[in-house]
């Protein structure tokens, strides 16, 4: 994208995704499923069949041959109906991008076609109990045993392991056990022997679940390694920028959903002479939310355009800024939507307060607000580091 005007194709994609998401909207479909803790399988399957989940994957492997811009557009429109798919952030965005850039031909044949139509799902595991924000501290280790690899370590907060066919695990080789992270990435099938996954008890009303993983000497064939075993951080960033952009898209869509609900209610609800939306105390905060969401979206689009043009470094700053802005704008929009609904905002009828936990994810994952501020302070402003 070299201008701010979307092509007819992109507009058509937005409209088509929005149409699907309206059928699978938050109040009628997502919320009942989320309350039961069930994944959005029907929506996932239909979105997959329509080609929405693999728009960024190369046509050679059954994808749409477009970019992260288009995948973000899909996620934003799904989320704008409250039907964002968390695993889109992980499966086609992170794993699809990394395998697409660094995978062998055999890995691409085996995985990309399935990720493109959604028939295969891949989770992504980097976070560890003693290395949350500090991924340089991860200790999951891969050691050679003949041709094979043996993986040992613990991961936490891994989304969607129950739905996934495999997990892309970030480890480090024995040769690089300490010091600056040289990530080695492995495709670990979820039915691998000695891989133990346990659901975490989260307190978020959401259809997807987080898991702890214990890799208790999981044996993998040589071809489980993606790319080089000490490929420096670039290989990981091929996936982490799309993750931030897609996380932004989810937050922006969620914010749009909340804002739309608020505006609708503010036009209808009348307790004095005119609808509550006529009071500036209600109208102005909603207008501010609209501005902040649109600004976050612009930064997300910039990040996606930079990433798709191959400028990973430039994309990193924009993707971080977009994720920060989107997380903040979406939380604010949801909070203001609740306020606009008065007591109704806390009832089950509107589902607004049920979304609070899910909206807060945007401030914490995949990278927290504070770590983004650190990034901007150090990389954009050249300030010294305290940690």
Ligand X SMILES: Cc1cc2nc3c(=O)[nH]c(=O)nc-3n(C[C@H](O)[C@H](O)[C@H](O)COP(=O)(O)OP(=O)(O)OC[C@H]3O[C@@H](n4cnc5c(N)ncnc54)[C@H](O)[C@@H]3O)c2cc1C
Closest separation between CB of residue 158 and ligand X, Å? 5
- Cα separation of 289 and 328, whole Å? 10
Binding site for ligand X (CB under 6 A): 90, 124-127, 132-133, 157-159, 210, 361, 364-368, 370-371, 374, 387
Between CA 251 and CA 75 the distance in angstroms is 9
Q: Shortest Cβ distance from residue 92 to ligand X (Å)? A: 14
For residue 371, give the nearest of 98, 180, 132, 129 by alpha carbon: 132
Least separation in angstroms between residue 31's CB and ligand X is 17
| Cα angle, residue 140 at apex, residues 188 and 120 outer, rounded to 5° | 20
The Cα–Cα gap between 358 and 74 comes to 19
Q: How far apart are the C-alpha atoms of 226 and 166, rounded to whole Å?
A: 13
Nearer to ligand X, 359 or 371 (CB): 371
DSSP 270: B
Min separation Cβ 65 and ligand X, Å:
26
Rounded CA-CA distance 133/207 in Å is 25
Would you say 294 or 370 has its CB closer to ligand X? 370
State the alpha helices, DSSP H only, in 1-117.
8-23, 31-36, 41-49, 68-79, 86-88, 96-102, 105-107, 113-117
Its sign, for the CA torsion 213, 214, 218, 224, is positive
Comparison of 87 and 224: residue with beta carbon closer to ligand X: 87
**Which residue's structure tokens are 């501020």?**
373
**Closer residue to ligand X, CB minimum distance, 202 or 231:** 202
Quote the least distance from Cβ 159 to ligand X, whole Å. 4
Of residues 272 and 387, the one with the C-beta less far from ligand X? 387
Q: How far is the CB of 368 from ligand X (least distance, A)?
A: 3
Cα dihedral across residues 104, 106, 111, 116: positive or negative: positive
**DSSP secondary structure letters along 200-232:** -------SS-EEEEEEEEEEE-GGGEES-TT-H
CB atoms within 10 A of CB 25: 16
User: What minimum distance in Å lies between the beta carbon of 16 and ligand X?
Assistant: 28
Q: How far is the CB of 155 from ligand X (least distance, A)?
A: 6
Q: CB of residue 168 vs ligand X: minimum separation in angstroms?
A: 10
DSSP state at residue 39: -
Beta carbon nearer to ligand X, 333 or 365 = 365
Residue whose CB is less far from ligand X, 250 or 361: 361
Collapsing DSSP to helix, strand or coil, 308 comes out as helix
CB-nearest residue to ligand X: 132
Q: How far is Cα of residue 347 from the mean position of the Cα atoms in its chain? A: 28
C-beta closer to ligand X: residue 160 or 255:
160
Least Å from the CB of residue 5 to ligand X: 34
Q: What share of the chain is helix, strand, coil (3-state, %, to 5)?
A: 55, 15, 30
Distance from C-alpha of 52 to C-alpha of 263, rounded to nearest angstrom: 29
Closer CB to ligand X, 80 or 93, in the complex: 93
- Nearest to ligand X of 124, 237 (CB atom): 124
């Amino acid at each position: 994208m070299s201008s701010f005007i979307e092509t007819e194709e992109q507009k058509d994609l937005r409209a088509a995704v929005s149409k699907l998401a309206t059928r699978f909207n938050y109040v009628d479909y997502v919320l009942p499923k989320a309350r039961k803790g069930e994944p959005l399988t029907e929506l996932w399957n239909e979105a997959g069949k329509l080609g929405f989940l693999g728009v960024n994957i190369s046509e050679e492997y059954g994808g749409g041959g477009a970019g992260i811009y288009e995948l973000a557009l899909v996620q934003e429109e799904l989320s704008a109906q409250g039907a964002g798919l968390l695993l889109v952030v992980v499966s086609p965005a992170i794993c699809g991008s990394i395998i697409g850039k660094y995978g062998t031909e055999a890995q691409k044949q085996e995985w990309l076609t399935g990720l493109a139509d959604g028939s295969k799902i891949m989770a992504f595991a980097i976070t560890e109990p003693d290395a949350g924000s500090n991924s340089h501290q991860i200790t999951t280790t891969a050691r050679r045993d003949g041709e094979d690899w043996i993986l040992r370590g613990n991961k936490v907060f891994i989304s969607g392991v129950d739905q996934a066919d495999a997990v892309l695990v970030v480890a480090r080789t024995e040769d690089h056990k300490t010091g600056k992270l040289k990530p080695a990435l492995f495709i670990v099938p979820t039915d691998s022997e000695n891989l133990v996954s346990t659901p975490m008890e989260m307190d978020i009303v959401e259809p997807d679940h987080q898991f702890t993983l214990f890799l208790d000497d999981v044996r993998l064939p040589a071809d489980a390694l993606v790319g080089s075993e000490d490929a420096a951080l670039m290989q990981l960033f091929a996936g982490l920028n799309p993750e931030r952009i897609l996380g932004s898209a989810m937050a922006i869509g969620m914010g749009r959903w909340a804002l739309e609900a608020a505006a609708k209610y503010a036009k209808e609800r009348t307790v004095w002479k005119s609808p509550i939306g006529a009071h500036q105390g209600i109208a102005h905060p909603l207008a501010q939310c609209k501005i902040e969401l649109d600004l976050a979206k612009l930064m997300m689009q910039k990040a996606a355009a930079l990433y798709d043009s191959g400028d990973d470094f430039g994309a990193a700053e924009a993707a971080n800024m977009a994720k920060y802005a989107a997380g903040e704008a979406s939380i604010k929009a949801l909070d203001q939507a609740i306020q606009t609904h008065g007591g109704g905002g806390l009832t089950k009828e509107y589902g607004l307060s049920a979304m609070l936990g899910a909206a807060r994810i945007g401030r914490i994952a995949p990278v927290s607000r504070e770590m983004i501020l650190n990034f901007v302070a150090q990389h954009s402003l050249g300030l010294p580091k305290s940690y």
